[in-house]
Amino acid sequence: MSTQVTLVASDLDRTLVYSAAALDLPMPDAEAPRLLCVEIYGHKPLSYVTETAGALLEALGASTVFVPTTTRTREQYHRIHLPGPAARYAICANGGHILVDGISDRDWQRQVAARLADECASLAEVRAHLVAASDPAWLLKERIAEDLFAYLVVERSLLPEGWVKELADWADGRGWTVSLQGRKIYAVPKPLTKSAAMNEVARRCGATLTLAAGDSLLDADLLLAADRSWRPAHGELADSGWTAPNVEVLGETGIAAGEEILRRFIGAAGAERRR
């Protein structure tokens, strides 16, 4: 009898974990859920899950191969401490790194580097264009992540209408994609995907079912690659109305969506075990 192995690849920010600004708590204060801080930055609390979500994460980690899947750098990812067993695998830098017990897999690094060199313009060219096209009036920070991709931190209210689309059109012809998430504008090489990394982890662990969740355009390929996927009613994908046959659109927004996503993961994994 074959063993059923469910792999769960989930985005983190605004999918499972939420900053204070992204919590979206519409209920009266006295009815708000208790929160559990899962990230400290600059000696201050930064990201949260609900206590209920914390218990669900523990159950999920005990019954599936749970793979946190994020655009965060390795350093940023290691700031997050989720309830439940430590994840054996994690995907960072939008698929640029597969962590195995916290250490980046060198074979995967080499594969990624070869694809980027063959298939798209250099990071140096894209970074130079980003800086030249930006206006100090609304540009707050410019950063390189893991020597793989670039992003800007901007003042959204001052960002000119159409600027992101113009950047996306320029980048598209050079093998790069652009995504606006909150105050950050990401420029990411097209071969650098969460889905490719998820497929590699699924191969390694012999997954018989893959589940995924995410809220941004950088998650779209991950959601498409999984057997079943979910997205919340907020974020870039919701704003654009994006969906697909294997993607279920949830009605919840904010931290309540994080809870519901975990319930869906656990339900689907349980159904797979009962088959």
One domain, residues 102 and 125: no
Measure the CA–CA gap between 113 and 226, rounded to whole angstroms: 24
One domain, residues 125 and 176: yes
Measure the CA–CA gap between 127 and 162, rounded to whole angstroms: 19
CATH number where 176 lies = 3.90.1070
- Give one DSSP letter per residue of 115-176, joined into a string: HHHHHS--HHHHHHHHHHH--TTTEEEEEEETTTEEEEEE-GGGSPTTHHHHHHHHHHTTTE
pLDDT of residue 1: 42
**From first to last of its 275 residues, what are the pLDDT tens digits of the chain?**
458 899 999 999 999 999 999 999 999 999 999 999 999 999 999 999 999 999 999 999 999 999 999 999 999 999 999 999 999 999 999 999 999 999 999 999 999 999 999 999 999 999 999 999 999 999 999 999 999 999 999 999 999 999 999 999 999 999 999 988 888 999 999 999 999 999 999 999 999 999 999 999 999 999 999 999 999 999 999 999 999 999 999 999 999 999 999 999 999 999 888 87
**Structure token digits, residue 241:** 């109305």
One domain, residues 207 and 166: no
Among 189, 205, 221, the domain boundary falls at: 189
One domain, residues 200 and 96: yes
One domain, residues 75 and 97: yes
Residue 149's domain comprises: 121-189
One domain, residues 131 and 229: no
Please check whether residue 1 lies inside any domain of the structure: no
pLDDT of residue 9: 98
One domain, residues 200 and 244: yes
Angle 51-63/254-274 helices, nearest 10 degrees?
30
One domain, residues 20 and 150: no
Domain count, the chain: 2
pLDDT of residue 2: 58
Among 137, 162, 189, the domain boundary falls at: 189
Please check whether residue 101 lies inside any domain of the structure: yes
